[in-house]
Every structure is written in structure tokens, then in C-alpha cells.
Structure 1
Amino acid sequence: MNSLKKKATSGVIWSSIDKSFTMLIQFVFGIILARLLVPKDYGLIGMITIFITISQAIVESGFSRALIQKKDADQLDYSTTFFFNFLISILVYLILYFTSSLIADFYVQPLLADLVKVVGLNVIISSIAIIQRTILIKKIDFKTQAIVNIIAGIGGALIGIGFAVSGFGVWSLVFQYLSRNFITSVLFWIMNDWRPTLVFSLASLKRLFNFGSKILASTLLYAAFQNIYLVIIGKVYKSEELGYYTRATLFKQIPATLVTTIIQNVTFPILVSVIEDDTQVKKIMRRSIKLTAFLIFPMAVSLIVFAHPLVLILLTEKWLPTVILLQILAVGVIFFPVNSINTNFINAKGRSDLFLKLEIINNVLTIMAIAFTYRFGMTIIAIGYVSVSCIGFFTYAYYSGKFIAYSGVKQIIDMFPYALVSIIVTILSSFIWKLVDNQTLYLLGGIITSILGYILCSYILKFKELEDIKNIITTKIKK
């Protein structure tokens, strides 16, 4: 158990480094690109996001989760999956290539045909690194992943900015995306010693697909219905308005993705290893939920309170319509990482069928929300999106309550102290700094004061998560 704890601690440290630096890179360079480009450029990319996301899900086919879940996965399993993923990626790319004109016609945007053909190359590029990444996750080796992602993030961002400065417009975003993923794939092969062998087993493929197919179906449903908002907005509204929505989404995804990926990547392999021990599973779940709440609430509340100066200062006035959308979507940030912990638990038990069932339920709710809101403008659409996230939390938490007596209500009770402290500290900080008639000072002073106030209150109230993070950092420094 000590070895498991050591791996989990190391995983949290390096996963945190990975996501923190990756998000910082995306945030800083994303601001530079947003200032160089116009909302329409982001809107065009938003229109094709659903097709690329679905294509990548098909290529991966749920095998990554299946291989992690299978404790005795061997070279035959890895090689079979590698060749299957690569062949599927070529087939998927050909489909994208020959349907690109139909996508362009749907949105009445001729440029999209060429964009799809080029961006679609990523499904092939990414396929060659799926197994490399999966093996590292299974080993809980997040150090290698952190190094790769940071290097690739910086390289891709610099290439994108170079094209933007040269006047390539929307193509700057395309080349940034492709170059980052190309560098990632190359580095994974360099830094991981696994290589495929010329073997292929239909029996292995069938066994893995039995679990992975349900993950695939769930992933496809999630990708389709989460991105259906981009399709509807792109079709019904102007590309500029889709640009505002995608920029708000990117901002709110920073805390959501940061916390979710750290917790999800670490907890899934750990839960798999102890899944037969309900007491231990519940303990891990509670610690994960509390740590998630401790991290996510101050981030989400700060986004809501300081959205206006954040957008105005970083992106300039041309992006101000993003503010209200960001404030609404930030509410949903709270549920995203918590939902991931509950789905990790379900998948760790090998119940991908339940995962699929829950995805279907939540996607039906998504369709209903879109049907009721798409006619009433961007603000109402965003409210509908967040409402589905709130309801989705209770559907995912239902099975945690059923299997280990850790229901959604109990999870909310565990999260409540962090929410309350975050709201009080951030609002007080905002009131204090509003007395300063300077947007930059208001933003910087407000956020810094909020962080310090939150840490101080956490110390006074003896939040164990503060001590946990301190111990992790101290242990890493000593090493």
C-alpha cells in the first residue's frame, strides 16, 4: 500500500506540473493569438471541432481505457491495438477528406473544406502515440508525459504565433494544433522504449473491444453532444458569435481540464488496483472529491467575479461579449472534475455499460436543453448547458451512492466548506479592490488577495488538503 501511495503522490506531482505548465502555455500564447486574430477565426475552427473530436474518439476506440483496466495486458494486446488504431485512423481521415465539401456546404463557409482536409491529418498523427501514452498512464509515469507535453506545447504555440504574425489568420490555429500533436507523437516514441511487433490477434482485439466498445460509444455520445452546441451556434448564428462562445469555453476549460486531468489520470489506475476493497475505494473517492473541491472552487469563483477585467485586459474590447458567457459557463466548471471522479469509479469497476447508460441519459438532456434554448440567444444557450451539467452530476453520483454509499448529497456536503470559503473570500476581495479606479490593479489585486485569503482561511479552518499539498511539495523538494 505504501508503494501505491508513493506512486499516487508522484503521479499527482508530475500530473500537476504537466497540466499547470501546459495550461500556462496555452493561456499565455492563447492570449497572444487572440489579440492577433479575430473572433471569426476561432468561430471557423469551432465549426469543425465536432468532426475532429469524433474522429479521434473513433480512432482510439476506447482501447486505451480497456488496456489500463486489463491488469495483465501484454505485448500482443499492445501491438494489436496499435495496428488497429493506425488503420482506423487512415480510414477515418479518408472519410473526413471526401466529406469536407459537405461540411463546408452545411455552414455555407467554403474555406472549411480545406480546413477539414488539413486539420484531419491529426487523427493519423495522434494514432501512432496512443499506446505509448497508455503505457505511461498504466505505469503512473506522469514525469515523461509532463516533459513531452510542455515541449510540444511551447513548440506548437511558437509556430502558431509565427504564422499569425505573418498574416495567415485562421491557418495559424491549424498549424499550431498540428505541430503540437506532431511533436508530441515524436517525443513519445523517443522517450518511451515500447515498440510494436508484427503480431495481430483478433481474439485480443475482441476481448479489449468488449470493454472498449462501450467506452467508445460513451465517448462518441459525449463528444457529439458536448460539441453539438458549436454546430447549432455555428449554423444559426454568425461565426463571430461562435468565436465568443469558444473563447469563453477555452477560458473556463483551464481550471476544469487542469483539475480533471490531474485527478482522473491518477485516480483511475489507483481505483482499478483496489476496486475490490469498498472501504479503500470510498476513502480514495472522498479524498479525491475533497481535493478537487479545494482546487476547483477558488478558480471557478474567481472566473465569475473577475471575468470582465480579465477579458478586457487580456483580449481587448473586441472580445467583451465573451464576459457574460464566461461567467455562466464557469458555474459548470465545478461539476466537470467531480463527474470525472464518479465515472472513473464506474469504469474502474469494469461497468462501462453503466457509463454508456449515463452518457445516453445526459445526452438526451443536452438535446432537450438545446431544443428549448437555441432560439433565445447565446446567454440562454449557455444557461441551458450549465443546467445539464448540474443535473448530470446527480446521475453520475447515483452509482457511487449505490455501490459504496457515497451519494451526490454526501459529495456536496464534503464540497460545501470549500465553496463557502471561496465565495466569501473572493467577493470580499472584489469589493475591496473596486475602490481602486484601475482595471489592471483591480484584476491583479483581487486575484492575489483572493488566493492569499483562501490559503489563510484554509489554514485557520484546518483544511487537510492544504497540508496534503504542502507535504507533496515538501517531499518533492527533498527528493
Structure 2
Amino acid sequence: MIQLVGLILLARLLTPVDFGLVAMVTAIIGVTSVLSDFGLSLAIMRETDLEPRIRDALFYINTALAVVTAGCVWAAAPLIATFYGEPRLEEVTRWLAAFVCISGLAPQFRAELARTHKFTALAIVDPIAQGAALAAACVAAVRGAGYWAVVIQQGVAAVVLVLALMSLSRYVPRSWPTFRGVKEHVSLGATSLGLDVTNYLAVYAAPAAIGQALGAAAVGLYQRAFQLVAFPLVQLAGPLTRVVVPILAHVEDGPKLVAAAKRVQLALAYAVLPFLVLIIVGGSDLVEVMFGADWRASGRLAQILAVGGIFQIFGYVNYWLFTRKGRLGLMWSLEASVWVPITLLYFVFSTSGAIWIAALYATSLVLNWLVSTSIGLRKLGLPAMEFLRPSLLRLAFLAPVVGAGVGVSEVLARSGWNAIWTLVAASGSSLLVVGLLVALPAFRVELREFFGVFAKLRKSAG
């Protein structure tokens, strides 16, 4: 909720150019968050019992990587400004380099909380950091700071997050630096790093290509659409990863693992899909109502990206299963076969407009889901159809819901209806179709299973 309010408030206080300038830098340097983590936090989360000596060694490695990557960002500031032809980006990059160093300390503390199942602590650190950062950014924006408000937001978030994680995890390294016994963890981390870097480039090469070809305003519009779609994905799928990975480590292979993974996939799908459907149905009207008329052009981009987001939700369970099996290398090779050519195509089609870039990104998510499910799960010895069949069924349920809403929205928009009333009418049409779908036995079974998952959680908590 804090991030959603932040998206709305700052969109009213700042311009697409303000957001675009910072996004142009983060599109390039954001990969440092992946490099400084080196996948070691994932290696820690999947460990049920970890020696303090090895845990400390991994912390020292992460700290050294954070310092080195921040130094590289600082040195690259002139090159980034030259790449975009925008001199203002040099100073922005150097400030963001300092925040890269600070935020690079966070993954190990976060992983320690996840490994020890301190999920309540994990749940409160992000609201604390994001709330403080939003307050600081809004004050700066009101005082006329422009794009520096976005920089301040990132800096405050990094500082407060690390301090909160340190306080709640109560982890302090006590061993002298040593590399004995860390080979297995570093090896898994390196594989995870390759996967994360590939995914990062696939995501952030898009705004980089748009920024170089079309400028800061176009990047700002694209990033706002991307953030709107990513909001439900990141806020639910991200925390779930920190919960699911440690829990699946305790589930034995075979039918029990498949059943547990399918329950998580079901819960995630029905928790997130309503948000994505709203974005697809609302489109430009939703964007205008939330952010103002200046951002209306982001609506069509958000619709396209949200279609891809549906398949991303379906595929999240694959990532968790590859992690559980320790086969991230296989997943990396499968995803690279999709992401690498798509990433290159961003720069080929960037001058054709941001719509093309959004379409390429959505296509990559569809292909990624198909490859990782149909090929990857079989290579893990898991029944691919057990996961593919329910996803196809959910697509069949989604099609009429989305079709009705988009159809009504397009007709009313061409008739000159106000954005708010168009959004209300289109959303109502989709809800009406959902009501009709309840008559289908298969849909009722899905809903019962969805609410059953949360009933079991409440019973376990009790």
C-alpha cells in the first residue's frame, strides 16, 4: 500500500522526465544489486543448518562485492552520461553509487531472517524503509527538488532498510574472514547470479534502449507502466520467495513436493491475477485516474506488460522448484535461450516506439513460461502437465473476463466517456462475467481450493 500510494503521490508531484532521468541510470547500474548479492542469499535461505563460520564468510564476500560494484558505478558515471547524451546523469550516478554500496549489505541480513523463519520481522522491514523513503521524497518534491526527489527516495530506502534488517536479525559476524567450506555455496550463488543477471538484463535493457533512442520522457512513461504491473508481482511474489524456498527445503521429493508447489501456485495466481486483470481492463483510464492525464500514454504499455505478467505468475513456481532441486544452472540455460535474443531485439526496435519494446517483453514472458514448464520441469523429473494444465484452465477463465472489460472500455472511450466512469463500467462488466463463471463446477473447485489454502494457514497459525 505504501508503494502504491507513493506511485500516485509522486506522479502528481513530478513529471515523466524526472522519473525518466533516474530510470535511465538505474536501468544500467541496477544490476549491481544482483552482482553484490552474488546469489549467496539464496544459498543461505535453502540451508536448514548453517555453520556460523560459513555464514560469516559469506557476509564478508557480499560486503566486498558491494564495495567493488559501488566503486565501478562511481567510475562509470561519465560513460553513462555519454551513452545517453545527458550530462545531468553523471552526478545522479555518483550519488546512486553510494546507495548501491549501502543496499549491498542488506541481502545477508534478509536471508538470515528467512533462514530462521522470522517472517514477521521480514514483513515489517520493507514498510518501514519504504514509508520513510516516500515521506522524504514527497517533502523534497514539494520543495522543488525535481528528479533529485527520486534519488533521495532511493537513498533513504537503502539506509533505513539496512539499519532495520541489522536490528531485527541481530546478526553480527564474529569469525575472522575465511574461505574454507564456502565452495558449494559460492558455486550455487554463481549459478543464481547468472540467472539473475540474465533476467535483469532482459528487464532493464528495455528502458535503456528506450532512453537512448527516445529520451527521458519516454523512459518515464514506460517505467511507470512497468512499475504499475510489477507492483502486485513484486509485493506478493517477492516476499513469497523468501517464505516458500526455506519451507520447500523441508518437503520431501515426490507427490508431497508437487502438491505443495501446486498449492502455492494456486494461491499466488488468484491473489495477483485480479490486479493484472484490472490493469488490462482499465488501461489508459486507470492510469489517468491514478496518476493524472500527463501519464495517460502509459496505459497501453501497462496493458501489454500485464498480459505478460499473467504468464510470469504462472511460471514463478518453476523458479521455486528449480531452487529446491538445486538445478538453477538448468533454468539459466533455458531462460537464456529466450532472454538473450529478446534483449538484442530491444535495441533493434527501440526507434519504433515503446509499444514494440513492451510487446517484446511480454512475448519473452510467455515463451519463458512455456520453456521452463514443458522442458524444464520434465528434466527435474516432475510432471509438467500437473502444472501446465491448471495454468491453461485459468487462462480459459481469464479470457472472457478480460474480453468483456476491454470491449466495454474501448466502446465507451470512443464515445467520449469520462475516464472514471469508463473504468467503473469496464470493471463492472468483468465482475459480471466472474459472477457467471461461478456457475461452472471447475471454477468453483478452483475457488474452494484457493480459500482452503488460507483456511489451513489460519488453522496452523491458531
Match of 1:265 in 2: 242
Shift of 1:444: 4.7
Residue 122 of structure 2 aligns with which residue? 145
| Alignment deviations for residues 72-107 of structure 1 (CA, whole Å, 9 cap, x no partner) | 312111211112211221121111112101111111
C-alpha separation in 2, matches of 1:268 and 1:452? 37
Q: How does 1:115-264 map to 2 (within 5 A)?
A: 115-264=92-241
Query: 2: distance between equivalents of 1:248 and 1:367?
Result: 19
AA aligned to 2:341 is: L
Secondary structure (helix, strand or coil) at the match of 2:259 reads: helix
Aligned residue for 2:79?
102
Task: Give the letter aligned to residue 170 of structure 1.
Answer: Y
RMSD over aligned Cα atoms: 2.6
For residue 328 of structure 1, what is the amino acid of its counterpart?
Answer: I
Query: Which of 341, 344, 365 is the aligned partner of 2:317?
Result: 341
| Deviation, structure 1 residue 198 | 3.5
Secondary structure, aligned partner of 1:273: coil
Residue of structure 2 equivalent to 1:30? 7
Partner Cα distance (1:459, 1:214) in 2: 47
Q: Which of 266, 270, 275 lines up with 1:290 in the alignment?
A: 266
> How far does residue 458 in structure 1 lie from its aligned partner after superposition?
5.3
Asked whether the 8 Å contact 2:28–2:204 carries over to 1, the reply is no
Offset at 1:401?
Answer: 2.7
Which segments of 5 or more consecutive residues in structure 2 lack a partner in the other structure?
A: none
- In structure 1, the partner of 2:341 is 365
Alpha-carbon shift at residue 366 of structure 1 (Å): 1.7
Offset of residue 371 of structure 1: 5.2
Residue among 343, 356, 371 paired with 1:395: 371
C-alpha displacement at 1:39, in angstroms? 0.6
Contact 1:159 1:175 in 2 (8 A): yes
Deviates more, 1:40-49 or 1:442-451: 442-451
Give the equivalent residue in structure 1 for 2:296.
320
Describe the SS at the equivalent of 2:173. Answer: coil
Deviations 1:314-367 (A, max 9, x none): 212111111111111111111223322202211211122213212321222323
How many Å apart are 1:454 and its aligned residue?
A: 4.1
2:39 matched residue in structure 1? 62
Tell me which residue corresponds to 2:305: 329
Q: Report the identity percentage.
A: 23
After TM superposition, give the deviation of residue 260 of structure 1 in Å.
1.9
What SS class does the counterpart of residue 204 from structure 1 fall into? coil
1:310 equivalent among 263, 286, 296 = 286
1:306 is paired with a residue whose SS is helix
How far off is 1:387 after superposition?
A: 1.0
Structure 1 residue 449, shift from structure 2 partner: 7.4
| Structure 1 position 415 matched with structure 2 position 391 | yes
The Cα offsets for residues 387-428 of structure 1, whole Å up to 9 and x where unpaired, read as: 111111122112213334432x55342023433434434555
Partner secondary structure for residue 181 of structure 2: helix
The question of 1:74 aligning with 2:51 is answered: yes
Alignment partner, residue 451 of structure 2: 467
- How many residue pairs align between the two structures? 453
Equivalent of 1:382 in 346, 349, 358: 358
Per the normalisation by structure 2, the TM-score is: 0.90
Matched residue of 1:277: which SS? coil
Moved more, 201-210 or 31-40: 201-210
Q: Deviations over 1:199-218 (max 9, x none)?
A: 22212333321111111122
| Amino acid corresponding to residue 111 of structure 1 in structure 2 | R
CA distance in 2, matches of 1:116, 1:53: 11
Change (3 A) 1:428 1:225: closer
Distance 1:25 1:413 in 2: 36
Give yes or no for contact 1:294–1:465 (8 Å, CA) kept in 2. no
Partner of 2:23: 46
